[in-house]
Structure 1
Amino acid sequence: MQRIPALDESARQLARERIDGLVKPLGALGRLEDLAAWLCAAHNTVPPRPLDDVRVVVFAGDHGVSASAAVSAYPREITAAMVRVFLSGTSGVSVLARQVGAHVRVLDIAVDGDLDDVPSEVRAFKVRRGSEPIDTTDALAPGEAVRGFAVGRAVADEEIDAGADLLIPGDMGIGNTTIASALVAATLGVPVPDVVGTGTGVDDDGRARKIAVIEAALARAGERVRDPFELLTALGSACAAATAGFLVQAAVRGVPVLLDGVFSGAAALVAREIAPEAAQWWLAGHRSTEPSQAFALKALGLEPILDLGLRLGEGSGAVQAVPVLRGARAVLAEMGRLADLA
């Protein structure tokens, strides 16, 4: 793996000095000032470059737990159906992305349903059909986690080569929150009940089933979870592996990433285990209502830009934070200076 570049701390410091000299009281723009300085450090220039080309990649796939246990309010067939909705441009993230001029791409990484009718480029990076139920067996076959990770890296390269200024990982898959909670609990050693939420809106019995599935999976995996690729094999999914690879390669290429919700947060934890220096290139777009995301973001040292009570996934929350980042850049690029006042 190539070296991950460091953020430019001299540019961050210069940005801070410039921000303090703008026509406003010190610190009056709060978090916008922090974000503007971060963008300068990422872009190695003051002011930072425009964020004109924003790209969302939705990694779609099914999970064995959605077939073996009732951990979701929806059947797993929804995953394949939603891929078609993304392609039609009528998904939640598609609608929200249009408002900020972002491009949405969906990829079948591990969808179990039949998608022979969708464009071949959607299926070009497919790793497998679905995954196995993690409470009874490994999610992936040997080597598939590494393959999924490589797929994510290749996808990031494609988007960056096409001009991406900012990347957003999205997710679609019935059972995603169960997998994300398992990865967070295993990585951080957090009690399973503390990281399990209601996901798609399950009741107390559904939440109890999710807890039981994850606890059984952790007991089965044992010490293997200490290795990130073994963790992805035992408890993760091809989509989680691909998302982790996507995050790491964005950092290698020096392109900022806005994490979305619970699934990308869990994948980011695993990605940091693989490439610790990659985390400096990520921001948290929003705060999910799922509890495992809060644990993941705290461990990553990230404070969400927005808190709108969202839990849709797909990259939808992170997309909503794009105007905030653009505003932070505009402040630094366009505000007047105190020194220029008559």
Structure 2
Amino acid sequence: MYKNKLKELMLERNISNHRLAKETSISRQAISKIKNNEFHDISVNVLTELLEYFDMPFNEFGTIYTREECLQALLPNRGFNQKNLNLLESLFSKNLHISCKYHPYSSKQCLNIYSKNYFKKFSFSGNMRINTSLYGLTFEITDFDLYRKSENFHFDDFYDFYKDFIIQLEHYALTLGFTQIVININSYFDKNLKMQLEPRKVNLKDLNLLINKYKYSNRENELIKTSIIKQLGYIEHSYNDSQQKRKYEKEKINNYVDCLNHLTFFEKEQKRISIFSEKNIYFNHDTKKFIKPLNSEIIPKEKLEKDIKRQWEWL
């Protein structure tokens, strides 16, 4: 990827946007975009004119970076510094009427978050981190647990709060310009069925029954989380075609089982286990990643190919 030095050059030579636009055929709007985003995609015609105007070669006007180097350069301002934590706190206090405690670590690229003691109805804690991937800047919720503290609560309130909490994290990631948000989902041990299971999307009626009738545990937490993120449009990540095919097979069975309204939740789970066994499908006990794209315009994947091609044109 190509990082231009237009802003630096204009400051050194005391050239304004108006003057540069007047002395070239480049619009002030285009100049502003290039100045304010050093990784902005510049067309060959515009780049040619800028090189002629500043009388310098391609390799002095900017620097070529790999995509990973480019993304790493964008990470520091998106870390969990005080400014960004203030943004997160404002989203929570304004939209959820809660306040949290924050503990950044690993050079402020990771964050531990948990509710303050006076939050009476629910208690929650979690860990988040920022990183880069092939698809750009990633805001990842590595683990998150929301538990009820009081028996005096309504399921709808609990479910809606959980959902709104995730939505506020999406707003935070989107505001800071992340390309995607990732939420990790873990398998759980079902004490009633005495099995390690991977969570599935469960209808609200069954979730309501589980939360009100049974002691809240990892099972309820992961099932609610899975149901919410699927409702919000998150897609399970598959690493290869084989995993993708198996994922669709499981999804088809899970959807079928969830529609068997004459069965209880545990009867549905036993039915699911039975079908999986018949089809030689095994439960995955590894952490599953669910992804939702946020802002694909920060650094489009296609830009890497364009930059490589342009590099050869100028060398």
Provide TM-score, normalisation by structure 2: 0.30
Q: Which has the higher strand share?
A: 2
Higher relative contact order (CA 8 A, sep 6+): 1
